[in-house]
Structure 1
Amino acid sequence: MKGRYLSLAASGAVLCLTAVTLTGCGAVGGLTGDNEVTLRVVAADYGDNPQNSSEAYWKDLATGFEKANPGTKVEVSVYSWSEVDAKVAEMVKAGKAPDIAQIGAYSDYAAAGKLYSAEELLSVKTEADFLGPLADAGKVKQVQYGMPFVASTRLLFYNEKLLADAGVIGKDAKGWQPKNWADLEAAAKKLKAANVPTPFALPLGREEAQAETMMWMLAGGGGYTDNEESYSIDSAPNVKALEFLRDKMVGQGLTGPVEPGKLDRQAAFDGFTKGEVGMLNGHPTLLKQAAAKGVKFGMVPLPTSDGSDQPAMGVADWVMAFKNGHRQESGKFLDFLYQPKNVTAFTEKYDLLPATTSGYQAKQAATGGSAPQLKPFLTALPSSRLYPVGKKSWAGVSEDIKQNIGKTVQPGGQPAKVLEQIATAARAADPR
């Protein structure tokens, strides 16, 4: 659920200059004109090029809200997924938190007392519309601070032509279902023998390393936390999963010319749409990107290490409102954001899954008609495992993973050592 870089820093700078004489451009948002309130919103970009940047969505949303709410202006800055979390962290540290942020983690800000709760912000109707598992994931100590924005689950995408040409599937095969990791390895070897540049793309770069890592951990019987929701990052199944990637996939030259630790998700997607990648883990956004380039592809659940059933990974991105003195205005804006028509406009634009019951029901109807390819993603959502976003330490742990996990699959990499270091820091930051 990531995109290209787009910054509206210039407009942010103009806003700051406007507000400085009144507020010093500090944590409290600017007031302009006759007590007009300006809400500062920071959002992530889900597009893969300037033409489908999320900027257009937020601009239209802001215009519609301003028209319906005279006296409140909305200034939006959109950043790529590789930097938006860090941008918000910098703003908060500098005492210039935005009024509303749409980013990847909320719990550290909630634990620090910097956020309004959902109950303080939303109408009863809006608050009750969130899908139960996602609303629960947005809670810290039973209070919801993180409001789920959109969700996705992940499937293994494969290029039908490349697999057929390599002899993995028959020319007329309608589907392929690898049973375990040995099947993936065998398929990747055939793709390599057929001179496919990247048999299996393994993006462990900064953009979304924490997601790719979690998919493999879950498929190996592990995960970031155990059944008691305590960190288990350095568990034996997790170590084995990374050893498989190091020895069988990277070590045998099956992951292409770019080192996994330097490969970002969108770059892997781009390779797939160009017909250079045989297999990779992907989310619904890849559907349109691949179809637009005429790539014929199949989608199956990522097989587990031994063929046993394991939960798939789900991801939710979050909206939060900082305590900048604009609770009422922020609440109105969020009620507007979560109106069914606005939820549908965004999820349809990027082929993502809604975080609301009304949106989920609409998407279920669409999977039988206008969006049938979304059905397997939607089916997996209710039972999927999410990041441990309720832990205030998660943002830091996620950053640690982004910076270091790529080292584990390098030749000579030490998964056990790196995971132990990450786990030790995680447990220290989240004592139970």
Structure 2
Amino acid sequence: MKNRILAGAIALVSSVALGGCGYLSPSGAGDTTVTVWLMKGSASTEFLDEFTAAYEKEHDSVELEFKFQEWGGIGPKVLSALKGKGEDTPDVIEVGNTQVAQYAESGGLRDLTLEAMRDLGSEDWLPGLADPGSINGVQYGIPWYAANRVVIYNKDLFAQAGIDTPPKNREQWIADTERLDADGNQGIYLAGQNWYVLAGFIWDEGGELAEGDDGDWTGTLDSPEALRGMEFYKKLQALGAGPKDADEENPPQTDVFARGNVAQIISTPGSAALIEQANPELKGKLGYFPIPGKTTKKPGAVFTGGSDLIVPEKAAHRSAGVAVVEALASEKWQRELALAMSYVPNKPKLAGAIESQEGTAAMAEGAAQGRATPNSAQWADVEAENPIKPYMTAVLEGRDPAEEAKSASERISSLLAGS
């Protein structure tokens, strides 16, 4: 989900996060007020000022009103808004990319397929943002921005181990991490239940977390491909002292890394700010590289978090809302937003906007191989219970992978079936 993957990224820009409940354009001259719900912290005041001035200059009959929402409890609030009428319903809503299926199931979203194909160059979008926004061939969510995990590493520990350049494939990554896992240092700190990282390894092997469509989904952690992904996770996780029965927040992996004896963690680049805050001596000593793939040809697959923009069918100003979405997703404003907020823009060809930002550039390189969780409206139920986490712990503690995967897959199937 977007609110989880971006937790570290948002920390990097928290100093410019927006406060309050709303932001009304200063001109107040428009005949039509387009109301846009944005998540708190998604865009800075400076960006919105610039966008609003330019947009209202081009559309002198339109006034923009931004209202900011909290991620906590946003699902029911959006579903309620989609059922509203006219002034009770915003014209544009920012939603987590993996939430679109849930909202589309309500029947309250406008079909944006024509705009996506005709005006926005949908064929070039990042798959991890575009795919979750498309339900049964209908584009309901327009990609806005992305973030994903990279490897954050301690440059001093790499130098001490004689490693001059970051690894480019899995085999080299394991070899380097084995060298780093010595002399009282951890080669990598990888918690046993970091299932988003596992998902990337499974996708690299050609597997899936679940497969299906039209409400008929089956958990597939027990496929040969998915089992190979778990096997690699176990091999990598063993090269450090990460707990087998906890996720990356228990304890926070940034706190562990800040102690100075961990060579690598897998997180969003924004986590570096938290690390340096906890240990100022590490400032300037952190590096970034994309999660390595099976070959040097491309980075590994990663879970893409981020936001899509949707237009409620019952909004009072649907057409005006669509026009605002088109502007926010356009190449000009994608570059501006990415640079201002250290995000990955919605098209790989726009990544040059953030090439001067080492961490964001590494994130953008990995985003080209980004994926999203299964596009089922019930996937939120899977994450709420999350049978993947105990499955991972069981395997890391030595239980039979095939048996544990079969059991977890059956539970995933049941949850996706609504039972």
TM-score (normalised: structure 2): 0.69
The answer as to 2:35 corresponding to 1:39 is yes
Indicate whether 1:354 and 2:338 are aligned: no
Aligned partner letter, 2:196: A
Q: Write the distance in 2 (CA, Å) between the matches of 1:298 and 1:132.
A: 21
421-430 vs 306-315, which moves further: 306-315
Partner Cα distance (2:235, 2:185) in 1 = 20
Q: 1:103, CA displacement in angstroms?
A: 1.6
Structure 1 residue corresponding to 2:226, chosen from 238, 249, 252: 238
Please point out which of 191, 207, 217 is paired with 1:222: 207
**Contact 1:243 1:409 (8 Å CA) reproduced:** no
Residue 341 of structure 1, aligned match among 325, 328, 332: 332
CA distance in 2, matches of 1:373, 1:188: 21
Change (3 A) 1:253 1:316: closer
Deviations 1:39-84 (A, max 9, x none): 14132646xxxxxx756544654565456454534132153xxx35
1:295 to 261, 277, 285: 285
Equivalent residue number for residue 87 of structure 1? 74
Alignment of 1:190-229 (within 5 A): 190=182, 193-195=183-185, 199-202=188-191, 204=193, 211-219=196-204, 222-225=207-210
Q: For each residue in 1:205-247, what CA deviation from the matched residue of structure 2 results, as whole angstroms up to 9, or x when unmatched?
A: xxxx553231232355533246999642343543565476568
Can you list the C-alpha shifts for 1:373-432, whole angstroms capped at 9, x where unaligned? 7666555555x251245433334434443x8626732775975366235422354259xx
User: Structure 2 vs 1, CA of residues 77 and 301 (structure 1 numbering), >3 Å: closer, same or farther?
Assistant: same
Q: Residue deviations 1:26-46, cap 9 Å, x none?
A: xxxxxx999753514132646
Question: Equivalents in 1 of 2:349, 2:63: separation in Å?
Answer: 32
- In the alignment, what sits opposite 2:171? 179
Structure 1 residue matching 2:376: 3-state secondary structure: coil
User: Corresponding residue for 2:21?
Assistant: 11
Local SS of the residue matching 1:156 = strand
Cα distance in 1 for partners of 2:231, 2:67 equals: 43
Tell me, yes or no, if the aligned pair for 1:273 and 1:295 is still in contact at 8 Å: no
Deviation at 1:182, TM superposition (A): 5.2
* Contact 2:331/2:350 (8 A) holds in 1: no
Distance in 1 between residues matched to 2:117 and 2:406, nearest whole Å:
48
Matches within 5 A, 1:279-290: 279-283=264-268, 285=270
**1:102-113 matches, cutoff 5 A:** 102-105=95-98, 106-113=100-107
Counterpart position of 2:408: 419
Q: Distance in 2 between matches of 1:419 and 1:223?
A: 13
The equivalent residue for 2:155 is 160
SS of residue matched to 1:179: helix
Q: Report the secondary structure of 1:319's partner residue.
A: strand
| d(CA) in 2 for partners of 1:332, 1:243 | 47
The aligned counterpart of 2:382 is: 397
Aligned to 2:237: 249
| Pair 1:324 & 2:314 matched | yes
1:315–1:386 CA contact under 8 A, matched in 2: yes
Secondary structure of the residue that 1:74 maps to in structure 2? strand
Partner of 1:348: helix, strand, or coil? helix
Q: Distance in 1 between matches of 2:354 and 2:299?
A: 27
C-alpha separation in 2, matches of 1:307 and 1:122: 33
1:143 shift after superposition: 1.4
1:324 counterpart SS class: coil
1:149–1:316 contact (8 Å) kept in structure 2: no
Q: Which runs of 5+ in 1 are unaligned?
A: 16-31, 47-52
Select between 37-46 and 222-231 the one with higher mean Cα deviation.
Answer: 222-231
CA distance 1:145–1:413, shift in 2 (3 Å):
farther
CA distance in 2, matches of 1:270, 1:55: 30
Q: Which moved more, 1:211-220 or 1:138-147?
A: 211-220
SS at match of 1:342: helix
SS in 2 for 1:263: coil
Match of 1:114 in 2: 108
Match of 1:27 in 2: none
Distance 1:362 1:146, change over 3 A: closer
Q: CA deviation at 1:372?
A: 7.1
- Residues of 1 paired with 2:219 and 2:245: CA distance? 28
Q: Judge conservation of contact 2:379–2:416 (CA < 8 Å) in 1.
A: no
Residue 116 of structure 1, CA deviation: 0.8
* Residue type at the aligned position of 1:150: Y
Q: Larger deviation: 416-425 or 314-323?
A: 416-425
Instruction: Tell me the CA shift for residue 263 of structure 1.
Output: 0.9
User: What secondary structure is seen at the aligned counterpart in 1 of 2:6?
Assistant: coil
Task: Kindly state the Cα deviation for residue 319 of structure 1 after the two structures are TM-superposed.
Answer: 1.8
Query: Could you tell me which of 120, 134, 140 is aligned with 1:139?
Result: 134
* Unmatched runs of 5 consecutive residues or more in structure 2: 277-281
Equivalent runs, 1:252-267 vs 2, <5 Å: 254-255=241-242, 260-261=246-247, 263=249, 267=252
2:393 paired with 1:409? yes
Q: Hey, what does 1:23 align to over in structure 2?
A: none
Distance 1:59 1:269, change over 3 A: farther
Q: Distance in 2 between matches of 1:221 and 1:123?
A: 28
CA separation of 1:74 and 1:273: change in aligned 2, threshold 3 A: farther
The CA distance in 1 between the partners of 2:65 and 2:226, in whole Å, is 44
- How many residue pairs were aligned? 381
Give TM-score, length-normalised by structure 1.
Answer: 0.67
RMSD, matched Cα: 4.8
Contact 1:101 1:321 in 2 (8 A): no
Q: Quick one: structure 1 residues 390 and 337, their matched pair in 2 at CA, closer, same or farther if it must change by over 3 Å?
A: same
Counterpart amino acid of 1:423? I
